[in-house]
Amino acid sequence: MRAGWWKCIAASVPAALALGCATFPDAAETRASAEKIVSASFTAPSPQLLKRLEQDRAQRLCSKVEDAALTQEEAAEVIELARTSIQYPASGKLVGNWKIGEALAHDGAGDRIARGVLEKRKENGGLCQNCHALARGEINVGNVGPALTGFGTKRGNSPETAKYVYEKVYNSWLYFPCSNMPRLGANKHLTSDQITHLVAYLIDPQSPLNR
């Protein structure tokens, strides 16, 4: 139900009714003024951290107001940007250690900013549990993304699957342009090595996810 029930919201306001919807600023004006207030409305411990507010090209394309769809060209651009973003581990080995991956999948911390301090750890958590059902019987899991329970049982652990999972976690927009899922590798939230451990957690037959 994001169909535009509010579109002519002014119609419900008698004062604005006389003026009509046309008096709202247009998209370009809104964007210009909104970007101006973004740069003046936040603080961070360092100028580098303030740059998190700046959108890259793909984020801009994926920020359509309401349900406006991506054009085919835009989708192709998002996919191409994703393709060029992906870096593979130097070792060439895409499948790491599922035990490390399991801990990562249940770790939602790292890199938040509060009261002038960056929550800096050696490595960030993988955030998976926030949005995905994981091993059978786990209750404290989200459902924004699809359930991953039994992922490897269903999809196998071939090199092709390993590559797909690695790329999907590294930059999900390669396969689903503008997906809700963070581009965890491309955004440097996770390292390549961390992602290989998540690959193992997802596809290794010994992983609790597949038992």
The residue ranges that bind another protein (CB under 8 A) are 1-2, 5-6, 9-10, 12-13, 15-16, 19, 23-25, 30-31, 33-34, 37-38, 40-44, 49-50, 52-55, 59, 62-66, 111-116, 127, 129-131, 139-144, 180-183, 187-189
Residue 187: name the closest of 132, 129, 124 by CA. 124
What does each C-alpha distance from 24 to 14, 21, 131 come to in angstroms? 15, 6, 36
d(CA 68, CA 16): 25
Nearest distance from C-beta of residue 27 to another protein, angstroms:
8
- Tell me whether residue 30 or residue 158 sits nearer to another protein (CB atom): 30
- Tell me whether residue 134 or residue 165 sits nearer to another protein (CB atom): 134
- H helices within 62-208, ranges in order? 72-85, 98-105, 128-131, 151-155, 159-170, 192-203
- Tell me whether residue 34 or residue 205 sits nearer to another protein (CB atom): 34
- Tell me whether residue 59 or residue 153 sits nearer to another protein (CB atom): 59
Contact 174, 79 (CB under 8 A): yes
